[in-house]
């Protein structure tokens, strides 16, 4: 429905003009719900927001006039200006504003007919009440109350109203007596217009700790991907080089290529294998002296060659060609790894 301000009384035109001017002077304008906020708390909220944001209370029809006159994407805020609405102006971003308004909320007692914002649970434990009619009143609304040690005690935790359900008068009275205040009262941001975009609470209510953890996890995964895919960057080049050196060294050890930086590892592995054989021999009742240990070491060195099946004798000329070819391959491999290890 198109609205025309020229037919409005003068004071309403001035109100609409002020709203339009405030929207143009700030980077963000939001619609807030002020339902159920006591006047004293409104003043307290205004003081806490001073210097950061300004709250403007106006009739919904005047808000609609101003937003419609401005037109464009800001006019979409009209959909959220329902109930006891007000406008809030600030130069902060919508996430900071949402967090700031959440801090203005305080706990209040529930009133009959209100909707439970979450499950309302009466905790287990003793109360300050002495035996009397209070026991029956609590039991009438489903709260398991009993008398123990001269006091009224709640025997077990009880959910008296589930999220989204209407709070009855009896339940509201019982909660007041027990000192339970389940209602969050404060400015509720319905929507915010910021840089041609409408932000709603479901987009603004983020878990900052979970968000930060996800960023850290993503950074770690990106780093690992860069290293494993060998994509050099300023942050990953050292890890990539270190990984390449370790892998090259492992190749040298497995291939028994005697190069500086590898020979000690080869000897160490051989010694470990020798000791493993010695331990097996000891487990079978063999007494191992130094001579036996040396013999076992020598046997381990020649075992692979002895274990291979004997091949038929080849012509001397063919064997010579194969040996020359083998030597060339070994020299080529040694040169390549030698260059790798410097």
Residue ranges of domains in the chain? 5-105+186-206, 120-183, 213-307+316-341
- Name the β-bridge partners of 228: none
Per-residue confidence band for 219, with pLDDT thresholds at 50, 70 and 90: very high
Instruction: Give 90-142 pLDDT, tens digit per residue.
Output: 999 999 999 999 988 888 899 999 999 899 999 999 999 999 999 999 999 99
The better pLDDT of the pair 152, 334 is held by 152
Burial class from Cβ neighbours inside 10 Å (0-12, 13-18, 19+) for residue 106 reads middle
Q: How far is CA 276 from the centre of its chain?
A: 48
Instruction: Give 293-332 pLDDT, tens digit per residue.
Output: 565 555 455 444 444 443 444 445 555 555 554 454 444 4
- The CATH H-level (homologous superfamily) assignment of domain 120-183 is Ribosomal protein L10, N-terminal fragment, domain II (3.90.105.20)
The pLDDT value recorded for residue 297 is 56
Q: What CATH number belongs to 5-105+186-206?
A: 3.30.70.1730
> Using CA atoms, how far apart are residues 230 and 211, in angstroms rounded to an integer?
28
The pLDDT value recorded for residue 220 is 93
- Name the β-bridge partners of 31: 87, 191
284: tokens are 């079978």
State the chain's mean pLDDT as an integer: 82
Instruction: Give 171-213 pLDDT, tens digit per residue.
Output: 999 999 999 999 988 899 999 999 999 999 999 988 888 889 9
- Closest by CA to 41, choosing from 144, 183, 140, 166, is 183
């Amino acid at each position: 429905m198109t609205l025309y301000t020229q037919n409005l009384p003068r004071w309403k035109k001035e109100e609409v003009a002020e709203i339009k001017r405030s929207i143009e002077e700030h980077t963000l304008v939001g619609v807030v719900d002020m339902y159920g906020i006591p006047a004293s708390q409104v003043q307290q909220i205004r003081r806490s927001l001073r210097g950061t944001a300004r709250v403007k209370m106006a009739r919904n029809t005047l808000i609609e006039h101003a937003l419609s006159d401005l037109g464009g994407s800001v006019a979409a805020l009209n959909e959220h200006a329902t109930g006891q609405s007000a406008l809030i102006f600030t130069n902060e971003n919508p996430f900071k504003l949402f967090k700031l308004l959440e801090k203005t909320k305080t706990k209040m007692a529930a009133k009959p007919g209100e909707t439970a914002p979450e499950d309302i649970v009466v905790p287990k434990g003793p109360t300050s009440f002495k035996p009397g009619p209070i026991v029956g009143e609590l039991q009438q609304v489903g709260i398991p109350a009993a008398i123990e040690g001269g006091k009224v005690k709640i025997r077990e935790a009880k959910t008296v109203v589930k999220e989204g359900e209407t709070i009855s008068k009896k339940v509201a009275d019982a909660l007041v007596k027990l000192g339970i205040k389940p209602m969050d009262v404060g400015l509720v941001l319905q929507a915010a217009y910021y840089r041609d975009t409408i932000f709603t609470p479901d987009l603004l209510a983020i878990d900052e700790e979970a968000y930060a953890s996800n960023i850290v996890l993503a950074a770690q995964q990106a780093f690992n991907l860069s290293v494993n895919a060998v994509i050099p960057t300023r942050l990953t080049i050292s890890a990539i080089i270190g990984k390449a050196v370790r892998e090259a060294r492992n190749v040298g050890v497995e291939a028994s290529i005697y190069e500086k930086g590898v020979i000690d590892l080869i000897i160490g592995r051989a010694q470990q294998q020798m000791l493993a054989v010695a331990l097996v021999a000891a487990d079978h009742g063999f007494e191992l002296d130094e001579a036996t240990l040396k013999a076992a070491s020598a046997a381990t060195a020649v075992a692979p060659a002895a274990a291979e099946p004997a091949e038929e004798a080849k012509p001397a000329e063919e064997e010579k060609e194969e040996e020359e070819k083998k030597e060339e391959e070994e020299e080529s491999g040694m040169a390549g790894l030698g260059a790798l290890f410097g």
